[in-house]
Amino acid sequence: MTSASEAVERYRGAEYERLFRAARRRLEKNGGSLDGPPVGVGNPDEAERKAIIGITGDYRDPGVKHMSVTLSELDAVVRAGTGLTLAALLETIGGPLRNRPREAARALAARGDALRPAKESPLYESAEWYREWLDEVSRDGTVSRLAGRSRTAGALARAARVLEFLEARTEGCLPVTLAELAAKITHHPKALDHPGTLSTLVLRALAMRAGVPAPGSAEERRDLWDRHEVVVDDLASRILVLNLPAEGEGLGEWLTGAARFGAPFQVTLHQLNTFPVVLRAPVVHVCENPAVLRRAAAELGPQCPPLVCTEGRPSTAFHRLAALAVEGGARLRYHGDFDWPGVDMAGVAARRHGAELWRMTAADYLAGLAHLGDLPEGDEHLRLSERAVPTPWDPALAEAMRERGSAVYEESVADSLLADLRG
């Protein structure tokens, strides 16, 4: 007489492997129910054919294409031979059975718990970019991954608090360091460091808010934080200066000395924070591209009026220096690229610092285009591809740029800028 343990061992045979694998899939899928259609084996070999005949009692000829058995039949045979239920036998020979419906319900509940605090944020009602961000991280599996791990389950709620804090800040407020922001929201100064989960979530949202691609490099991450008045590194946030004398020990002395020789000088946010200065220039010109400042230094030297260069998107160091110049009575004159990011940055300088837009009219744009001449076929780097930006100081400028569809970069109009600086 075959013992129960011997019967269990018999069911470990290769002839039962595919049948039991199909039974396991069905039980895991339906939560352990024996109801439903039969499970089967396609193109069974001779051993499998005989094994299934032994279970069902139904003879099938050799070469049969498919054989099947209901789970209730299989369960009854297993109970009679081993004293175990089908589910217990499958766990004995193959490990625990999953309950996929219960897992799916738990995962759905966990997703809801992870999303709920973010959806309860006031930004969900007021900010389209915020809703788009939540929709994207829900669709691409991010929320499911976060909810599935206890360590990251609350990351969306923390990200929402960071975004609420940044959204509530008004343009022109003092910047905050990344460590200060992290400590304020999470009580841990390194919580927003890359490549952490919280940092990734927040930067994806801020990229949507700014209408730019998600950052892929350290420089892009730093620029995106800087755009939202968050300083990652006060040594990396800098501004290029030419002939801007200043009062004050340390930095003031260095700026004054550099101006005496007409030498470009790199000023960091760390220096501005460490060495207070007073600026007394009546007019400070601002350009976007270092090639313009380089030409001014080479051609005008110490005779060039005060000129600063943002080197692309204005950093926190630029905004700090610009504010100091305006406090000292300076009038800012800003020029940038004639592309959509360039006119956007010009608008920010005008709103935030009261800057005059220097040669940034539709007429200046069209003159720059005329200077460039006909664009070579396929010269895509001059094509305007980003979303259009309004130019309230001269609405005709945005209209002309949309109509022509071509960028005019600052280097190509440097002759007219240098002529103004000479004058």
CB 278 within 8 A of CB 326: no
Under a CB-based contact definition with an 8 Å cutoff, are residues 297 and 263 in contact? yes
Predicted model pTM: 0.64
Question: Could you report the per-residue pLDDT of 23-44, keeping only the tens digit for each?
Answer: 999 999 999 999 989 999 999 9
Q: What is the pLDDT of residues 311-348, one digit of tens each?
A: 998 988 999 999 999 999 999 999 999 999 999 999 99
Closest CA to 178 of 218, 135, 127, 136: 218
What is the residue type of 421? L
What token pair was written down for 335? 């020029």
CB count within 10 Å of CB 401 equals: 25
Q: What HEC string does the chain produce?
A: CCCHHHHHHHCCCHHHHHHHHHHHHHHHHHCCCCCCCCEEEECCCHHHHHHHHHHHCCCCCCCCCEEEECHHHHHHHHHHHHCCCHHHHHHHHHCCCCCHHHHHHHHHHHHHHHHHHHHCCCHHHHCHHHHHHHHHHHHCCHHHHHHCCCCCCCHHHHHHHHHHHHHHCCCCCCCEEHHHHHHHHHCCCCCCCCCCHHHHHHHHHHHHHHCCCCCCCHHHHHHHHHHCCEECCCCCCEEEEECCCEECCCHHHHHHHHHHHCCCEEEEHHHHHHCCCEECCCEEEEECCHHHHHHHHHHHHHHCCCEEECCCCCCHHHHHHHHHHHHCCCEEEECCCECHHHHHHHHHHHHHHCCEECCCCHHHHHHHHHHHCCCCCCCHHHECCCCCCCCCCCHHHHHHHHHHCECECHHHHHHHHHHHHHC
Token pair in block for residue 201? 């979530």
**pLDDT score at 378:** 47
Q: Is residue 380 predicted with pLDDT exceeding 70?
A: no
418 pLDDT band, cuts 50/70/90, is very high
Domains of the chain plus CATH, in order, are 4-98 (no CATH), 101-231 (no CATH), 238-422 (3.40.1360.10)
**Average pLDDT, integer, range 340-365:** 95
pLDDT of 375 > 60? The answer is no
Residue 416 is encoded by which pair of tokens?
A: 């007219």
Q: What is the mean pLDDT of residues 2-11?
A: 81
Inform me whether the pLDDT recorded for 376 exceeds 60: no
Residue 400: how many CA atoms within 13 Å on its side-chain side?
21
> pLDDT over 90 for what percent of the chain?
77
**Per residue in 127-186, pLDDT tens?**
999 999 999 999 998 998 888 776 777 899 999 999 999 999 866 577 889 999 999 999
Q: Is the pLDDT of residue 377 over 60?
A: no
pLDDT band for position 1 (cuts 50, 70, 90): very low
The predicted pLDDT at position 171 comes to 64
Contacts of 189 (CB under 8 A, 6+ apart): 179, 180, 182, 183
Lowest mean pLDDT among 224-233, 262-271, 337-346: 224-233
